[in-house]
């Protein structure tokens, strides 16, 4: 063995062969990435886009599913829009004027409030009042035509039949005498029967301040005579 030549070969630094000097089968192994190398950036961005697309698809699927259920319930024959608004009419027949009050209610007439979003006033008065019908009490009913016309403009026509109207005559009716007072009340009843609103004969009455206070204290307005009106 030639030791001098072997020692000289070992002392020469190792130079890796060029790719042209490597066998073609070795090229595949030489191009493999190191074990701890990170994947290319484009693969990370691509996976992130796919997650965004998948999330959007899931969101819209749930949205249209809920929308379809809500639409089916709304158009179902078992679904009814709740009637949360109703009306009541009170005619205040005073000695000098007659005034109608149009009341609007929340939830089947339990909580009244005034006004119609600024479109109109909630009351309307005509003159004269009871004092003008002492000699001819039978025409008192004609004087409330203007009041009823005002009410028809304020209350939707579709609820006229369920809108209660009541007439309350004040203490000035006593000055006209009992016979004249009863004829005036009957004239008003005749007019209100054909008004188109819900009406009963006992809803036309003579009311003093004392009886009004007693009625409120006894919660009389929750009964059949004035229910839903005040």
pLDDT tens-digit readout, 94-106: 878 888 988 887 6
Q: Are residues 72 and 95 in the same domain?
A: no
94: left (phi over 0), alpha (psi -120 to 50) or beta: beta
Residues 185 and 74 reside in one and the same domain:
no
CATH classification of the domain holding 101:
3.30.420.40
Q: Given the DSSP bridges, would you call strands 204-206 and 164-169 parallel, antiparallel or unpaired?
A: parallel
Indicate whether 210 pLDDT > 60. Answer: no
Q: Are residues 106 and 127 in the same domain?
A: yes
Could you tell me the pTM of the whole model? 0.52
Total residue count of the chain as it appears in this document: 230
The CB density around residue 4, as the number of other CB atoms within 10 Å, is 7
Which of 49, 80, 111 is the endpoint of a domain?
Answer: 80
- 135 & 59 share domain: no
| Distance, first Cα to last Cα, the chain | 128
pLDDT at 17: 54
Q: Do 92 and 168 contact (CB within 8 A), yes or no?
A: yes
Phi, psi of 38 (to 5 degrees): -80, 150
How many domains does the structure of the chain reveal? 2
Q: In which domain, by residue range, is 70 found?
A: 38-80
* Dihedrals phi, psi of 126, to nearest 5 degrees: -130, 150
pLDDT grade for 201, boundaries at 50, 70 and 90: very high
The torsion of the CA quartet 207, 211, 216, 221, rounded to 10 degrees, works out to -50
């Amino acid at each position: 063995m030639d030791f001098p030549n072997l020692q000289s070969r070992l002392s020469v630094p190792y130079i890796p062969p060029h790719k042209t000097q490597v066998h073609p089968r070795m090229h595949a192994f030489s191009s493999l990435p190191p074990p701890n190398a990170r994947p290319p950036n484009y693969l990370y961005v691509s996976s992130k886009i796919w997650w965004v697309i998948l999330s959007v698809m899931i969101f819209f699927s749930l949205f249209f599913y809920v929308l379809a259920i809500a639409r089916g319930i709304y158009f179902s024959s078992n679904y009814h829009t709740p009637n949360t608004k109703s009306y009541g009419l009170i005619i205040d027949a005073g000695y000098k004027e007659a005034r109608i009050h149009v009341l609007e209610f929340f939830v089947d007439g339990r909580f009244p409030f005034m006004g119609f979003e600024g479109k109109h006033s909630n009351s309307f008065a005509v003159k004269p009042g009871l004092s003008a019908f002492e000699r001819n009490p039978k025409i008192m009913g004609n004087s409330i035509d203007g009041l009823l016309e005002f009410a028809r403009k304020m209350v939707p026509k579709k609820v006229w039949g369920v809108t209660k109207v009541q007439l309350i005559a004040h203490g000035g009716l006593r000055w006209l005498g009992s016979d004249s007072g009863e004829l005036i009340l009957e004239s008003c009843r005749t007019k209100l029967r054909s008004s188109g609103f819900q009406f009963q004969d006992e809803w036309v009455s003579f009311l003093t301040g004392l009886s009004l206070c007693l009625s409120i204290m006894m919660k009389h307005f929750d009964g059949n005579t004035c229910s839903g009106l005040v």
